Structure 1
Amino acid sequence: MIRILLAEDDQAMRTYLARALENAGYDVVAVDRGTQALPHLESDSFDLLLSDIVMPEMDGIELAQRCAKIAPATKVMFITGFAAVSLRASREAPQAKVLSKPFHLRDIVLEVQRMFGLSEHAQI
């Protein structure tokens, strides 16, 4: 089963994303900031870090850079509502996928499936 570490500071968005991904068959650990995600990256194994970019204490880009050192095999996908931040993410973490808000919950599930080479109809 694919394991996802979700870092999103907006509680409603975090709840919706976690629920959509869990309903699609993924194992999700959700935290509300980058500094809370680090201990999970250090102690557990995740296939994907799904992170908002703008968060308190540590932004998603710094979190992704730390993740690359701690768990280099973990894929990274950013979610953001800010176009300028999206450009910065593309420049500073070029291997990461950036999904701009607003998006439909189905879109994020489809993007995760694409990252792992799963077809839209695959059993996850």
Structure 2
Amino acid sequence: MKILLAEDDNDMRRFLAKALQNAGYEVLSFDNGLSAYNRLREEPFELLLTDIVMPEMDGIELARRATELDPDIKVMFITGFAAVALNPDSKAPKDAKVLSKPFHLRELVSEVEKLLAAA
């Protein structure tokens, strides 16, 4: 299972990628939405795990474009701004999961496993 991780905080991105890799996932990580989107155009991923507030392209726009490219991709937002993701005006994918910061890495892995198992 391949996960594309978009998170502009370097430390957070490293922690998340390591936790997911330790759980057996292949993780490609990017520090902004635009470079993540460009990679999504090159190959399929099972899950897009993205922060919402990022430079160049925010996570909601990234998720919207990702689901246009691949309607089957699962989306999970990791954010300190859960209300933004849940706002119906945001145009975020309707079945996207939101994990609010702060969270424990075990919680992240558990939520990712649940989301991917629902595929």
TM-score, normalising length: structure 1: 0.88
Q: Name the SS of the counterpart of 1:98 in structure 2.
A: strand
For the 8 Å contact 1:4–1:27, the answer to whether it is kept is yes
In structure 2, do the counterparts of structure 1 residues 111 and 89 end up closer, same or farther at CA, with 3 Å as the change threshold?
farther
* CA deviation profile, 1:78-112 (whole Å, cap 9, x unmatched): 00012432333796222100000000001000001
Q: Name the SS of the counterpart of 1:73 in structure 2.
A: coil
For the 8 Å contact 1:75–1:96, the answer to whether it is kept is yes
Runs (5+) with no aligned partner, structure 1? 119-124
For the 8 Å contact 2:60–2:85, the answer to whether it is kept is no
Q: Matched residues in 1 for 2:89 and 2:105: separation? A: 22
Residue pairs, 1:1-124, within 5 angstroms? 2-88=1-87, 92=91, 93-117=93-117
Displaced runs of 4+ in structure 1, greater than 3 A? none
In structure 2, do the counterparts of structure 1 residues 89 and 45 end up closer, same or farther at CA, with 3 Å as the change threshold?
farther
Runs (5+) with no aligned partner, structure 2? none
Structure 1 window deviating more from structure 2 (54-63 vs 89-98): it is: 89-98
For the 8 Å contact 1:6–1:51, the answer to whether it is kept is yes
For the 8 Å contact 2:46–2:116, the answer to whether it is kept is no
In structure 2, do the counterparts of structure 1 residues 26 and 89 end up closer, same or farther at CA, with 3 Å as the change threshold?
farther
Please tell me the residue identity of whatever aligns with 1:26. Answer: Y
Q: Matched residues in 2 for 1:89 and 1:50: separation? A: 20
Q: Give the total of aligned pairs.
A: 117
Q: Matched residues in 2 for 1:71 and 1:41: separation? A: 9
Equivalent residue number for residue 122 of structure 1: none
In structure 2, do the counterparts of structure 1 residues 83 and 48 end up closer, same or farther at CA, with 3 Å as the change threshold?
closer
% identical equivalent positions: 57
For the 8 Å contact 1:86–1:100, the answer to whether it is kept is no
TM-score, normalising length: structure 2: 0.92
